[in-house]
Amino acid sequence: MDLLGVECLSLCERGCSAAISAAGKWSYLLGGLDQAMADDLITYARAYAVSKTGLVLPSKRPAALANMVMGRMPPT
């Protein structure tokens, strides 16, 4: 798993944001994050990494991230 910084994810109104993607998997855009969610974001990334499709059901996400998914994009 690699962590890359980017200049902008165009979620200005939603505060801190993150994207997670991998070849052949759904990609996700999360917004409204804050520093207190860092560990939950890592937990989510680990669940994403072991998922064959990238799908991490809301019931399998940390509670703090339940409503933070702003969008998802299909695999390319």
* Helix, strand, coil % over all residues of the chain, rounded to 5: 35, 20, 45
What's the pTM value of the predicted model, to 2 decimals? 0.86
Q: What is the pLDDT of residue 26?
A: 95
Alpha carbon distances (Å) from 10 to 17, 43, 47: 9, 24, 25
Q: What is the pLDDT of residue 14?
A: 86
Q: Say which residues have a Cβ less than 8 Å from residue 1's Cβ, sequence separation at least 6.
A: 45, 46, 49
Nearest by Cα to 27 from 4, 8, 45: 45
- pLDDT per residue, tens digit, the chain (76 aa), is 677 888 888 888 888 999 999 999 999 999 999 999 999 999 999 999 999 999 998 888 999 998 899 999 999 8
